[in-house]
Amino acid sequence: MNAAVLACLVFAVFALGYRFYAGFLARSIFVLADDEPVPSRELTDGVDYVPTRRHVLWGHHFASIAGAAPIVGPAIAVIWGWLPALVWVCAGTVFMGAAHDFSALVISARHRGRSIGDIAGSVVGPRVRTLFLIIISLLIWVVLAVFAYIIATLFVSTPSSIFPINIQIVVAMTLGWLVYKRRLPMFVPSLVCYAILLVSVFYGEAFVAAVPAVADVSVMTWVWLLLLYSFAASVMPVWLLLQPRDYLNSHQLVTGLAVLSAGLVVLRPAVVAPALNPRPEGAPALIPFLFVTIACGAISGFHGLVSSGTTSKQLDRMTDARSIGYGGMLAEGFLGLMAVLAATAGFETSADWWHHYSSWGAADGLAAKLDAFVSGGAHFVAALGIPFETARTFMAVMVIAFAATSLDTGARIQRLVLAELGDAYHVKPLGNRFVAGALGVGSALLLAVTQGNGQGGLALWPLFGTTNQLVAGVTLLIVSVWLKRNGRPYVYTLVPMVAVAIVTAWAMVGELMGYYARFEELWLLSLSGTVILALDLWILFEGLRVLRSVRPVAPGAV
């Protein structure tokens, strides 16, 4: 099977989904209108509530949701074959993930830009708000540990990426200073800073040759350093690092997708992986673990936090929600597609693929799965005439940059969630950003360094995927209750909610059985997984009870 043909087919499905299904949701379910009031105009404050042009907000939203998860998840999931991964990325994105992001954005915009966790208190009940905040905190806790491990693994496997990533931090802080202190417009300086970042990729290998000691730093040492960095990023002003780095990453993501796509068209490689590999040695069952392994490549609860946390406050017109919410997730699905193809068609022979995927822990576990995307994508990029090692560094930098964005954003959101919980329960020290930040990052460090060795990323990943999709299920439940209350059809959000709830609960139970079998080694994962599952079932029970009893207060109104 030709990988370029598969890419064209999935792209066509995405286009049809946006044209017809997104249009149906916008017109018939949420009834969006250009003249509908939006929070950015009603509550304009120049800080959080700012009317933003559609293409600018799309870029910001896309960069915020497009972390490393849609790359890492598919790169692991192709162990079950390319066909299941491709079908789930395609169908899951169109009918579940994009609908989830879009609906979270709309419902938040119709609640004065409030977060989905806060809206849960109004729609379902105050107790659900607290429970949901706890699950969100646990999700971000796992996110911090997982993505620190991912970055550390890539630093060890591709040390030439260390120099460009550190250059990105420097140029991002410089960009923040130029924009906010020197009052320069962001676009032109950001292009200059991004050009510097691209040039630094060509000097990554020279840096390792000049400072060979960096290639000997262990994964766990990098995890410590990265989480200490994330603590610093979480407490410094948002304009100094997080915002400019996010903007630079939007340039990088567009460039990366464009270069990968161009290389794919030029190379037109054959897929050397099997279409179906249902029982890999040591791997969990294809169903349900395919769905939670791919995670953000098809549906992500984290996206609902972004849609309702920042994006909804910047909508210029309500009708922009379709292109930003639904369209943004389609772009992430395209990134997931590229990850599937790079990890199945980026190898020269079938034997090379089996070297990476003969078992769940083959070729050193997570490192091999990440290398499958980095090396596979590098083959696509090298087809454009770029030296392979430079192309490999470029791919590694792309993954690390997105993972670092998730690390930065996650640490900051965790600090804010802990502060909100502290306020609710009168724990005053959590109101201090240094205390809350240290608690959030410190607990993630405990999770990262105690749970598994060598394959720790693979041990953590299923818990991340299940928790992430449990949050998505709760978000869809809240939207369903709101739609029913407003006299609108809610089956289009309720069916995905039920599917996500069943699959993720099934996966969590299966994962917990494995954790408890190795309790002495994975005690923290065992306990945290049990708490997450219990909280989710509690929220689902409360939400479904409300959904069953609620009556439309204003039929046909939204």
Question: What pLDDT, on the 0 to 100 scale, is given for residue 454?
Answer: 42
| Residue range 101-132, pLDDT digits in tens | 999 999 999 999 888 888 898 898 888 888 88
**Does the residue 233 lie in any domain?**
yes
- Whichever domain contains 75, its CATH number is 1.20.1740
How many angstroms separate the CA atoms of 374 and 462, rounded? Answer: 21
For residue 555, tell me if it sits in a domain: no
In tens, the pLDDT along 56-79 reads 788 778 877 877 788 888 988 999
C-alpha–C-alpha distance, residues 94 and 327, integer Å: 10
Which residues, including other chains, have CB under 8 Å from residue 171's CB and lie 6 or more apart?
193, 194, 196, 197, 248
**Assigned domain for 57 exists:** yes
State both tokens at 10. Answer: 């999935």
Ranges of beta strands (E only) in 258-343 are none
Residue segments in the chain with a per-residue pLDDT below the cut of 50: 363, 454-456, 555-558
Query: How far apart, in Å, are the Cα atoms of 520 and each of 391, 406, 506, 514, 525?
Result: 42, 30, 23, 12, 10
Phi, psi angles (nearest 5°) of residue 290: -55, -45
Cβ-based burial of 188 (10 A; exposed 0-12, middle 13-18, buried ≥19): exposed
Q: Six-digit token pair at 164?
A: 């460009």
Give Rg (Cα) of the chain: 22
Can you read off the two tokens belonging to residue 528?
């945290």
> Is residue 557 included in any domain, yes or no?
no
| pLDDT for the residue 439 | 92
Which residue, 81, 149, 469, is CA-closest to 297?
Answer: 469
88, 340, 470 from 84: Cα distances, Å: 6, 10, 21
Nearest residue to 329 via CA among 113, 103, 143: 103
Q: Which of 84, 263, 62, 244 is nearest to 168 (CA)?
A: 244
Burial of 281 (0-12, 13-18, 19+ CB in 10 A): exposed
Burial string for 121-152 (b: 16+ CB within 10 Å, else e) reads bebbbeebbbbbbbbbbbbbbbbbbbbbbbbb
Kindly state whether residue 518 falls inside one of the protein's structural domains: yes
Strand segments (E) across 500-542:
none
- Per DSSP, the residues of 228-272 read HHHHHHHHS-TTTTHHHHHHHHHHHHHHHHHHHHHHHHHH-PBP-
- How many helical (H) and strand (E) elements, i.e. helices and strands, does the chain have? 25, 0
**Model pTM score:** 0.87
Check if the beta carbon of residue 335 is closer than 8 Å to that of residue 70. Answer: yes
Domain coverage including residue 455? 3-549
The answer to whether the beta carbons of residues 546 and 124 sit under 8 Å apart is yes
Q: Residue 554: inside a domain, yes or no?
A: no
Cα atoms in the Cβ-side hemisphere of radius 13 Å centred on 24: 11
2 DSSP β-pair partners? 270
Instruction: With beta carbons less than 8 A apart as the criterion, state whether 345 and 376 touch.
Output: yes
Query: What is the number of alpha carbons within 13 Å of residue 538 lying toward its C-beta?
Result: 15
Closest to 230 measured CA to CA, from 152, 122, 317, 305 = 152
Identify whether 428 is part of a domain: yes
CA dist 379 → 163, 252, 501 (Å) = 22, 18, 38
Looking at the structure of the chain, the number of domains it has is 1
Query: What is the maximal distance between C-alpha atoms in the chain?
Result: 70
Calpha distance 547→104 (Å, rounded): 17
Give CA–CA dist 496/187, Å, rounded: 39
The first and second tokens of residue 472, run together, are 């998505």
Distance CA 464, CA 413 (A): 16
DSSP calls for 288-301: HHHHHHHGGGT--H
Residue 377 is assigned to a structural domain of this protein: yes
Q: Look at residue 281 and give its three-state secondary structure.
A: strand
**pLDDT value of residue 544:** 92
Angle, alpha carbons 280-90-399 (nearest 5°): 70
Rounded-to-integer distance, Cα 496 and Cα 366, Å: 30
